[in-house]
Chains A and B, each alone.
Chain A
């Protein structure tokens, strides 16, 4: 007798989607018996209940930009690790934030601020250039020469 799998008695596993079933049936001993071989392809049983959506997809469109300049699509971003539509959306938005919607970068020298962290937002007000905006820190170089020193910052401004 064939050994029963745990999944056969677990109603959770009845909900998996089957994409393709392939049969091979060959005659055996006239009309009384037949040999069979069955294959199920689709979502593996271990995916059920994992939260992974094997068809996860998200398409980001900047409708205002498309209306102004036409469609300028990036190559598709494909991965084995994108688990859900929500994560696909996060990845698309992160891509657009870093690649497609970067407004400007600033480099400036300033006094040393030991407390500044890379994950912080700073505001820069500079009346000659007219800049008064919020920026994310990309890099900080602190240089100390004797009793003198500066911070050199590179910051980016994302479009809101």
Chain B
């Protein structure tokens, strides 16, 4: 398939602040809602020039990665730079018939939110628009867009879990999704719109198309409710006292008066 536009990609590894540009033969970037961006590049490397420490995966178990990747893609006059990508995997394939290639792949910065066994202090009596930024800041994000309604969190535990699970728990309450742009975390709720940001038309823009129409499970009714309602003990107090009102036991408890209408058991 020919493409009228000139397209290309520029691949760069930034290690300790020093950028190194590496020529690539193929670049693939996949973005999906509420998933880390996945990237992959294939580098012709007949002399093992790039199979060095520079291209070694370097995701630290704690803290932020010191080595990041930047991929710039362009299509005609349009360009876009993906920054703060993380290098997760590399493969070197030496095949005299197929050539010598190094394949590097990884994810965007949101990958740090998928670390296992993470713990933060339990969130109590706070708001979601406070809790999510606290988590993101803890894991090195520098900005965020919280395009969903704020609500109160009575308690949310965060022990030996993935940070993204705690964030997703909150977003599930309002049907929101997330994506990552460098170290910026963006949350949004999809809407049904009748205005478009881009218009794809016939053969001018569309090379091939598949249409899938399915009704696997038709659902037309659902109930959403809060789980724990009344299982709390609000107050308990014990003591010894005396008092009678109208011939019955009585007393005052804080702001509430109680009156025992019927004495039960032994007369006293």
Contact = CB atoms under 8 A, between A and B. Distances in A.
Nearest to A58: B224
A41 B206 contact: no
Contacts of A74: 219, 221-222
Nearest to B213: A104
A96 B219 contact: yes
Contacts of B30: 139-142
A114 B74 contact: yes
Nearest to A56: B226
A79 to B, nearest CB: 6
Given A94-B174, A112-B75, A79 B208 contact: no
Contact of A79 (B192, B206, B207, B226): B226
A13 B234 CA distance: 12
Given A41-B233, A43-B234, A77-B223, A139 B240 contact: no
B75 A38 contact: no
B27 to A, nearest CB: 4
Given A104-B211, A106-B211, A114-B75, A41 B153 contact: no
Nearest to A50: B152
A47 B2 CA distance: 63
B62 interface: no
Interface string A85-119: 01111111111111110011111111111111111
Interface in B244-268: 249, 251, 253-256, 258, 260, 264-268
B220 A34 contact: no
B207 A62 contact: no
A107 to B, nearest CB: 4
A144 B79 CA distance: 13
B220 A131 contact: no
Contacts of A100: 217-220, 222
Interface stretch (B92-100, B101-109, B113-121, B193-201): B193-201
Nearest to A42: B234
Interface in A14-64: 14, 16, 18-21, 23, 25-28, 30-47, 50-62
Interface string B158-190: 000000000001101111110100000010111
Interface of A: 2, 5, 8, 13-14, 16, 18-21, 23, 25-28, 30-47, 50-62, 65-66, 69, 71-84, 86-100, 103-127, 129, 131, 134, 136-150, 158, 160
Given A37-B237, A40-B236, 18 more contacts: A36-B239, A60-B222, A66-B221, A72-B220, A74-B222, A76-B225, A78-B226, A81-B173, A82-B173, A82-B226, A116-B197, A122-B199, A125-B199, A134-B192, A138-B33, A139-B32, A140-B31, A141-B30
